[in-house]
Every structure is written in C-alpha cells, then in structure tokens.
C-alpha cells in the first residue's frame, strides 16, 4: 500500500506522473484530475444551497465533480438513474443538479479554478445514496466520508495484494455504491487508473487487451460473456474479476474462471452496510469470509454485522438468513423479506405492487419472482369492478402494455414485470390465503393452449403443443420429463366438456392403453368422439411419432 492515500486528501496531493484515468486517445494524470476538481469546486462554491444531485455518464468527469462538490462543502446526492420519476423525487430535496440530466439546466464546471484544496473533514463530508430498504420506498442513506474511506482500506487489505498498477475496467455504473467504491473511490485511494465503463463484451475485451487490468462487473454481465470472443488474449494480464450486486450462480462463476483465466471474487454487501464479506470461486461452493474489520453473528438464523462501514457502532440486522460454515465464514440461505434482486437491481415486491395498484383500473396486484435460467418479475392483477378482464389475448396484451407504461417513469425495464395475468380474484388455498404456489401456477399452466381444428356435435380434434414449462412435467418422473397418463385422461375430459354436453358424473374407464410416451417438444393431436346413446367419450392421442394413448370414459347415463 505504498501508493495509498486517504479519500480525505486524494484531490489535495496528486501523485506526479501517476495515471488517473485512461481515456480515448490516451490518458490523464492525477494533476489534471486535481485541476478539474478545482474547477468544479469553484462552480459549487459560487452557489447557494448545501445539497446537489450528481449524475454523470463518464466516471472521470464524475470523480472530478464529486470531489469538487465535497471540497466546496456540499452534500452530494447520488441517484441510480436520471429517469423522470427520479428527477421529480429529488426536486424537493436538492438545491441543484450537476451532470447529465435530460431536460434539466445542470450545473457546469467553472472555466477557472485555482483555490488551494485542503483535506476533507471525514465526518462533515457526506454522500447520500438510495436503496429500496425494507419498505420498498426509495430510502435515502447518508454516508460519511470516513465510512467510505474505511471500506476502501478494507477492500485493499483483503483484495489488493497482487493487483499492483492496474487499470480498473468495469461494466457497472459508478452511480451505485458498488461501482462508486470499486471503480472510483478505491482506485483513487490506491493510485490506480479509472477506465470508461464498457457496455458490450466486444468493447470490454478490446479495452482490456494490452495492459494489466482488473474487471469490475455484475452477475448480469458475467453470466452472458460470449464464449466465442478471444478472452485468452487477457489471460495473465487480468489480475482479478470482481462481482457484486446479486448472487453469482456457481455455473456462471466457473465459466468466468475458464473464459477469463482467473476465478471471480464475489462481494457481499448493501448500501446500508457497505462491504460485509467476500469469496473467491476457486472451489465448488466457497463460503463467505468477512472483510477486515467486519464482525458478524447470527441472531435467530439471521445475519447481523458491525463495522466502521456503518454509520453507527451498533449491530445491524440484515434480512439474510445464514448458517455458520465451520471454517470462520458463513453461507447464505436466502432472504427473510420481500426484497429481490433482478439483474442485480434491488426490487421491492411490496413497493411494485403498491405502484401497480395506483392505476385506476387495478384493485389488487401481486408480484413475484419466477426462477429459472433467467429470473423474471411477473404480476397477477385483479381489475377494478368497472374494468372488464379482456377475453382475447390481444386485449390482455394491450392491458399489460398499459400497466407497463404506467410504471415507466419510476421503474426501468429490468424492474418491471415481464409477464402479466388478469384474474377475477386472487387464488387462495383451503384456509383462504393467497399463496406463492398458487400465484406461480398461473404462469405455469397444467394444460397447453388448445388449437381446435375440428368442432362438430359428435367429433372434435385439437392440437396440443407440449412445452417444457408445463407444471404437469414436474415431479412425476425423476429420470425424464414425460407427460403423465393421469394428465392425458384429465385433458381429454376437460376439452371434451368444451364441445360436448357430457354428463357430470364419471362412471368408469374402458380399454385404456398407453402406447408411447409424450415428451416436451411434441405436438400431440387429440381426437374426441362423443357416443351420446352410450354416454361414452372415446379419445385418442397421436403425434408424428405415432399413437400415444387411447381409451373410453363412461359417464352415468342420464346425469
């Protein structure tokens, strides 16, 4: 840590010759950073008011403006985006805006600035970030500079060994606490070069080639690294890969190690706590190790932490369930609240439900996260009695689009539901409770959509595409996904009731044969014949593979 400086004086003592940032066409040194910070100091110092919101696309300009505002004694508010809803929320709490704000007259740096900058006060220098918190509403969290400095020191102590004089590349935004620390504050304190954010893997690879580097990324980006790109070109020069903001699946972590030549290091933390723990994916399922200076304990199975990264010295209770690993670390067991991570974006299901319910056509809403290869948010909506549930698919799509637009001013695309279901009442169990299982079932139907090709008084034919997402494929056969016979019988009766006047009472089955299994991906044809004089339904399943099943269902005559 020979080059280490505190965050209190990084703009006061520039390191001569040290690269501050790599930019298009070359680089700039720390002395240039200091001059830019002085110009921003002059701009903020000339303004009344104490609190200013910063939003910059470029990390280099952001860093200069941030320290310029701090040295002018201003509290900096750091929103995660510049959406209209975010701007509206900030109007009443800040005295001005600096940076890239569409449609806003933003503060610009001064043409000159030569004031002598003195070290920042670690307690009086403040930053405000936002998180959804436990209620789901955006909650302002104030950070003192001494907290941020302590966390940067902790990261260098735990993870800085062997990094040396590297450039810090990243796919994450400095407008969020993780990107702020890893792409701006920690590099500044350690004298490492900041690099513009890369959005696409091709650009990232091109930027990293040719020099020693570190990658700061999120699970969303790391899970989607194209294997066909020339990643071996960075092997040996890529010193570390950091991931935070959400869980990095084990399969993705091991793919990253194979593609990039270095196992990723995952960071656990939050806006409230700062960094808590880290783990390196050089084994199958590594446990979390606390960062230096972080104490932890379990209270009723829930993780509690205490460190200098927190505003107060008291224990902070998280909403993460955990268990002791046995080697000085811990393993996480899931969340105890309704805050979920979608593409590393923290989303409150409670808050999203409340926002959907502000639409005049909505009476109730429930939002949940559907798992799978790519987790997505989905919503179940009960409409107001005056708003009719559309009968056709196009009407339901139009209504879903209306509600999506209703959320657009305050939620970006990642945090909006991708799929919608409109029901007359929320599904309940025998105890009258709305359960997640019942809501999930609405998105994983037992039966595929029916495509009728023949509907006559005594004969009918329907085609059924078997999708792997159908709930009937789960839990019946452990070796392979096979359409259960009981489902085939049930579908035959259900669909027959849509076209024939079947009696209500089942009597018996006759001549039941299962000849060939049906699997996901098959498109099966169901032929139905109603023998009214014998109260008998004849059914037969076939596909391009041949016959699958057939039989007769006899109903009680006259019922």
- pLDDT band at 103; cut points 50, 70, 90: confident
Kindly report which listed range (449-458, 476-485, 537-546) carries the lowest average pLDDT score: 476-485
533 with 457, same domain?
yes
CA distance 333 to 274: 20
- What is the per-residue pLDDT across 543-557, written as a single tens digit (0 to 9) for each? 999 999 999 999 987
Determine the pLDDT at residue 182.
96
Last residue within a domain, chosen from 418, 441, 464: 441
The highest-confidence range among 78-82, 183-187, 191-195, 382-386, by mean pLDDT, is: 183-187
Judge whether 469 lies within some domain. Answer: yes
Residue 43: which H helix or E strand, with range?
A: helix 30-45
Per the domain annotation, does 533 fall within a domain?
yes
Specify whether 477 is located in the same domain as 540: yes
Does 400 reside within a domain?
yes
Do residues 434 and 475 share a domain? no
pLDDT score for 209: 87
Q: Please report the pLDDT score of residue 354 as a whole number.
A: 85
Segments of 374-494 assigned E as strands: 376-383, 419-423, 451-455, 459-465
User: What is the pLDDT of the chain when averaged over all its residues?
Assistant: 88
| Rg over CA atoms, the chain | 30
For residue 61, what pLDDT is reported? 93
417: in domain? yes
Q: What is the mean pLDDT of residues 430-434?
A: 56
Q: Is residue 459 part of a domain?
A: yes
Distance from C-alpha of 350 to C-alpha of 337, rounded to nearest angstrom: 10
Q: Please report the sign of the dihedral spanned by the C-alpha atoms of residue 276, residue 281, residue 282, residue 285.
A: positive
- CATH number of the domain at 395, please: 3.30.300.30
Let me know whether 422 and 486 are in one domain: no
Render 105-133 in DSSP notation, one character per residue.
--B---S---PPP-PPPTTT-EEEEEE-T
Determine the average pLDDT of the residues in 452-478: 81
* Last-in-domain residue among 390, 422, 441: 441
Q: Sheet of 536-543: strands edge to edge?
A: 451-455, 459-465, 523-531, 536-543, 546-555, 506-514
The confidence band for 429, taking pLDDT boundaries of 50, 70 and 90, is low
Q: Same domain, yes or no, for 432 and 521?
A: no
- 348 in the same domain as 414: yes
Reply yes or no on whether the pLDDT at 477 is more than 60. no
Q: What is the pLDDT of residues 283-304, one digit of tens each?
A: 888 999 999 999 999 998 899 9
User: pLDDT tens across 481-531, in order?
Assistant: 788 888 899 899 989 998 999 988 888 999 999 999 998 889 999 999 999
d(CA 96, CA 48): 9
Strand partners, 455: 460
Q: Could you tell me if 551 and 463 lie in one domain?
A: yes
Residue 356 maps to a domain: yes
Domain with 393, as residue range(s), is 340-441
pLDDT at position 133 over 60:
no
At 386, is the pLDDT very low, low, confident or very high (cuts 50, 70, 90)? confident
pLDDT for the residue 432: 52
In sequence order, which ranges of 174-263 are alpha helices (DSSP H)? 177-180, 186-190, 201-208, 219-222, 250-260
Same domain, 376 and 408: yes
pLDDT > 70: what percent of the chain? 94
Q: pLDDT digits over 329-377, tens only?
A: 999 887 777 778 887 777 888 889 889 989 999 988 999 988 755 678 9
Q: Identify the pLDDT of residue 1.
A: 40
Nearest CA to 159 among 131, 181, 127? 181
User: Which one has a higher pLDDT value, 73 or 102?
Assistant: 73
Q: Do residue 345 and residue 432 come from a single domain? A: yes
Q: Is residue 223 part of a domain?
A: no
Residue 559 in this model has a pLDDT that exceeds 50: no
CATH number of domain containing 467: 3.10.129.10
pLDDT of residue 291: 97
Alpha-carbon distance of 231 to 220, in angstroms, equals 18
421 lies in the same domain as 351:
yes
Looking at the structure of the chain, the number of domains it has is: 2
Give 218-265 pLDDT, tens digit per residue. Answer: 888 898 899 999 999 999 999 999 999 878 888 889 999 999 999 999
515 located within any domain: yes
Structural tokens at position 130: 């936002």
Domain boundary at 406, 441, 476, which? 441
State residue 132's pLDDT score: 57
pLDDT, residue 431, reads 47
**Which pLDDT belongs to residue 558?**
55
């Amino acid at each position: 840590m020979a080059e280490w400086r505190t965050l209190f004086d990084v703009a006061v003592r520039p390191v001569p010759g040290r690269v501050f940032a790599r930019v298009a066409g070359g680089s700039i040194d720390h002395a240039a950073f200091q001059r830019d910070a002085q110009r921003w100091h002059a701009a903020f110092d000339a303004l009344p008011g104490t609190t200013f919101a910063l939003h910059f696309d470029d990390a280099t300009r952001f860093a200069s403006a941030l320290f310029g505002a701090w040295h002018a004694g201003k509290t900096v508010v750091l929103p995660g985006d510049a959406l209209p809803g975010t701007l509206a929320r900030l109007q009443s709490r800040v005295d001005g805006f600096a940076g890239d704000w569409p449609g806003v007259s933003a503060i610009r740096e001064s043409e000159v600035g030569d004031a002598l900058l003195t070290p920042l006060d670690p307690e009086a220098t403040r930053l405000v970030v936002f998180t959804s918190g436990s209620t789901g509403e955006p909650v302002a969290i104030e950070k003192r500079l001494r907290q941020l400095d302590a966390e940067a020191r902790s990261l260098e102590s735990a993870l800085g060994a062997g990094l040396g004089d590297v450039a810090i590349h990243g796919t994450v935004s400095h407008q969020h606490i993780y990107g702020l620390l890893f792409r701006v504050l920690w590099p500044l304190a350690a004298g490492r070069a900041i690099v513009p954010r890369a959005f696409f893997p091709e650009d990232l690879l091109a930027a990293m080639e040719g020099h020693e580097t570190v990658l700061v990324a999120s699970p969303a980006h790391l899970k989607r690294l194209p294997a066909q790109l020339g990643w071996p070109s960075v092997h040996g020069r890529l010193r570390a890969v950091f991931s935070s903001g959400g869980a990095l699946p084990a399969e993705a972590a091991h793919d990253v190690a194979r593609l990039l030549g270095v196992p990723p290091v995952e960071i656990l933390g939050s806006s409230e706590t700062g960094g808590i723990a880290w783990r390196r994916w050089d084994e199958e399922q590594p446990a979390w190790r606390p960062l230096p200076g972080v104490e932890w304990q379990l209270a009723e199975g829930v993780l509690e932490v205490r460190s200098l990264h927190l505003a107060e010295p008291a224990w902070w209770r998280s909403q993460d369930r955990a268990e002791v690993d046995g080697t000085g670390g811990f393993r996480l067991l899931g969340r105890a609240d309704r805050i979920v991570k979608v593409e590393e974006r923290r989303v409150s299901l409670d808050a999203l439900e409340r926002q959907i319910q502000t639409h005049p056509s909505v009476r109730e809403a429930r939002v949940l996260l559907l798992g799978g290869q790519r987790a997505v948010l989905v919503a179940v909506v009960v409409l107001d009695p005056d708003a009719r549930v559309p009968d056709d698919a196009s009407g339901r799509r139009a209504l879903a689009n209306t509600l999506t637009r209703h959320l657009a001013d305050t939620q970006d695309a990642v945090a909006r539901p991708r799929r919608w279901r409109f029901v007359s009442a929320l599904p309940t169990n025998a105890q009258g409770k709305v359960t997640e299982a019942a809501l999930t079932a609405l998105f994983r139907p037992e039966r595929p959509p029916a495509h009728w090709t023949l509907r006559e008084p005594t004969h009918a034919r329907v085609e059924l595409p078997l999708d792997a997402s159908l709930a009937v494929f789960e839990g019946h056969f452990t070796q392979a996904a096979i359409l259960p016979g009981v489902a085939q019988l049930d579908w035959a009766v259900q669909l027959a009731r849509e076209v024939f006047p079947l009696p209500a009472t089942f009597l018996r089955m006759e001549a039941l044969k299962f000849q060939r299994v049906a699997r996901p991906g098959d498109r099966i044809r169901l032929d139905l014949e109603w023998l009214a004089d014998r109260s008998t339904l004849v059914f037969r399943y076939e596909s391009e593979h041949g016959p699958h099943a057939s039989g007769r269902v006899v109903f009680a005559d006259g019922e």
